[in-house]
Amino acid sequence: MTLKIPVEIHTLRQIVEWGAEQFDQAGLYFGHGTETALDESAWLVSHVLNVSPDYSGVDVEQRLDESQKQAIAKLLQRRIEEKRPAAYLINEAWFAGHAFYVDERVLIPRSPLAELINEEFQPWIGQHQIENILEIGTGSGCIAIACALAFPEAKKLVATDISDEALAVAAMNRSRYGLEDRLELIQSDLFSSLATQQYDIIISNPPYVDAQDMADLPDEFRHEPELGLTAGQDGLDLVVPMLAQASDYLKPGGIIVIEVGNSWEALEQRFPEVPFTWLEFEYGGEGVFLLTAEVLSEFRNSFISES
């Protein structure tokens, strides 16, 4: 299939709208950085034209020349044919207002945790001075890096991943933000390779997709590393062991925040006695809970017996 921009389409605005129509007709899935066909089309077009994705200062009524139109058509065509999310096509994703390099070695950043990080974890940490933060399952490094930028006074951040390939991408993003001195990247299966140290905040967006959801995922997700998504029958294969071990790594007064997405119901069912605090997000997203160090250690035996 060759996507051809109709001759009556001349302006940037027309092309973005036309691209969105093509995406809708192709039945694409959105949710890897954008939520709609129009936003996805606008994002890809902005990349070709080398303008900001929010189009600030851009005249959207400007006419595009033939070579620009052809380059746009080519990229939109790839999005349709390959069902590859835009972020992988342009090797860029945005998280918490920061740009990150991404490729198919890492999940595309999209966690609602961005909102919590931008709010500096308020009201949950109050006046508590944040000295160090641990992230489990860092992928592109987006969460750890956004935390480092939100807490410039935090001296030490540690981010782990079981995947060396993901850590190579995280290292690229770490140098992009000049954080080599503050952010340590460690290859580790959960906490297994970590030195015993306690942190003010432990944060994680681990794999949590259950078997049923894995089977139903749209094609776009098949480009993402399976290791970043799949987590057993009920989606809790990583979360429960993490909760069982985390007490040793959390300072008194510290907090742990974990995203479990759709698997929140399974978690509530397995631990009806645990008072999970489920966070609410202004900009969408659910299935993120917070526990204080005190609650985490109170229910430690429940987590250990289930892991």
Ligand X SMILES: C[S@@+](CC[C@H](N)C(=O)[O-])C[C@H]1O[C@@H](n2cnc3c(N)ncnc32)[C@H](O)[C@@H]1O
Binding residues for ligand X, rule: CB under 6 A, are 106-107, 109, 111, 136-140, 142-143, 160-163, 166, 189-190, 205-207, 227-228, 238
Helix (H) or strand (E) holding 78: helix 66-82
Q: How far is the CB of 137 from ligand X (least distance, A)?
A: 3
The secondary structure of 163-181, three-state, reads CHHHHHHHHHHHHHCCCCC
| 9 or 304: CB nearest ligand X | 304
Q: How far is the CB of 251 from ligand X (least distance, A)?
A: 21
d(Cα 156, Cα 163) in Å, to the nearest integer? 22
| 192 or 212: CB nearest ligand X | 192
| 46 or 163: CB nearest ligand X | 163
d(Cα 302, Cα 307) in Å, to the nearest integer? 9
d(Cα 40, Cα 32) in Å, to the nearest integer? 9
Backbone angles phi, psi at 250, to 5 degrees: -110, 130
Cβ(108)–Cβ(142) below 8 Å: no
Say which DSSP state 228 is in. G
CA distances from 237 to 65, 231, 296 (A): 52, 5, 18
Check the CA dihedral 274-197-148-86 and report its sign: negative
Closest CA to 193 of 158, 166, 168: 158
| 16 or 266: CB nearest ligand X | 266
| 16 or 234: CB nearest ligand X | 234
d(Cα 166, Cα 138) in Å, to the nearest integer? 8
Q: How far is the CB of 82 from ligand X (least distance, A)?
A: 21
